[in-house]
Amino acid sequence: MPSLVTSVIGGWQGASAAKNAAKKEAAGYRQAGTEVTEAVRRVNPQILQTAHEAGLDVEQAGFRAGEGAVAAGERAGAGATAAAENLTGLLQPYIKGGEFGMEQLMEGMGPGGKLSQPFTASMMAQYSPAYQFQLAQGREAAQKAAAAAGVGGSGGTMRSLNRYAQDYAGTGFERAERIYSGQQQNQFNRLATLAQGGAGAAATAGQAGLQAAEYAGTMGANAAQYAGTMGMQGTQTRGAWDIAGRNLASSNELQGAGYLANTQIEAQKALAQGDIGAANSWNQMLSGIGQAGNSLLFAGMGGGTGTTSGWSWGNIGKNIWGRPTS
């Protein structure tokens, strides 16, 4: 049977131990919550800063890529333009020749131009210089033939000579005209060929310049579009990473707050358990005190003789302390 003193001491010690254990457990929960909260406070700014810097790096990379594309497009366009200009320079002699040929054609075919003048009898001496000599030789031969025949001065002979002269003149004129026309045609063809060659060279140069301009424009437009796309994607990525960083930070704060709340709850539960444990210890102490009091009461009222029952100086130690008085 427990004694009165051991019940009091045991109850006090049990209650104190329960309280101390509960306080330590509660302190541990609070410390854990504080550490998690501090960790969130330290980590979240780093997360936000890292996400922001990464987004800026991507955005700047997009801008740099776009600028590089624009520069490359400009270089490609400039190269095409330079090539077209170089080709035009190489074609300049042909273009100038064509201009000269066209000028000569326009001048020759214009009013009073040498290519538009018809053939006239005045041109016979130039285009048939042997005409007079050949005509004289023919008449002389005819006269000799007539004289040999004894009809040199007759009217028939004269008519024959005149007809010969007219026929020879017609034939000579036609031949001289053909020579003249052939020379005119030959000169026209040469000038026309020169003009056509110049026109072809000018067309080639113009086409090259047009294609170079179109190519430069296309490259510039494509580069600008690419630059815009890269810039937009970079900006979108930066925004997405900023949002992701804020979402992660918010999630950390929410989880940290939840963990802190749980640790506070667990700390209060630990304190409550400590109070319950202390109360149980006090209850056990009271139960022991009650049992000791009953023992004392019934020991004093139980009768008997000597020192083994009832109240007496001999058994007071046993009734109070649980052992005999020495």
Bigger pLDDT: 263 or 168?
263
Band (pLDDT 50/70/90 cuts) for residue 308 is very low
| Cα–Cα distance for residue pair 105/114, rounded to 1 Å | 10
Helix (H, G, I), strand (E, B) or coil at 130: coil
Contact in structure between 193 and 26 (CB atoms under 8 Å): no
Neighbouring C-beta atoms of residue 175, cutoff 10 Å: 14
pTM listed for this prediction = 0.51
Q: Which long-range contacts (CB under 8 A, 24 or more apart) does 265-271 make?
A: 266/26, 266/29, 267/25, 267/26, 267/27, 267/29, 267/30, 267/33, 268/26, 270/22, 270/25, 270/26, 270/29, 271/22, 271/23, 271/26
62: its two tokens: 């997009």
| Cα–Cα distance for residue pair 42/59, rounded to 1 Å | 27
Q: Look at residues 46, 85, 84 and name the one whose alpha carbon lies nearest to residue 249.
A: 46
Q: Given this model, what pLDDT does residue 173 score?
A: 73
Contact in structure between 147 and 161 (CB atoms under 8 Å): no
- Tell me 31's DSSP state: H
pLDDT in tens, 120-137: 777 766 666 555 545 555
Percent of the chain with pLDDT over 90: 24
| Cα–Cα distance for residue pair 127/179, rounded to 1 Å | 7
Band (pLDDT 50/70/90 cuts) for residue 193 is very high
Q: Given this model, what pLDDT does residue 217 score?
A: 92
Bigger pLDDT: 267 or 216?
216
Task: Sort residue 322 into left (φ over 0), alpha (ψ -120 to 50) or beta.
Answer: left
Helix (H, G, I), strand (E, B) or coil at 117: coil
Band (pLDDT 50/70/90 cuts) for residue 264 is confident
Neighbouring C-beta atoms of residue 324, cutoff 10 Å: 13
Q: Please, what is the angle between helix 131-148 and helix 155-301, to 10°?
A: 150
Whole-angstrom distance between the N-terminal and C-terminal Cα of the chain?
Answer: 20
Neighbouring C-beta atoms of residue 148, cutoff 10 Å: 9
* Stretch 179-204: mean pLDDT: 91
Q: Given this model, what pLDDT does residue 1 score?
A: 44
Averaged pLDDT of the chain: 77
Helix, strand, coil percent content, the chain, rounded in steps of 5:
85, 0, 15
Q: Look at residues 118, 116, 87, 305 and name the one whose alpha carbon lies nearest to residue 202.
A: 87
Contacts of 92 (CB under 8 A, 6+ apart): none
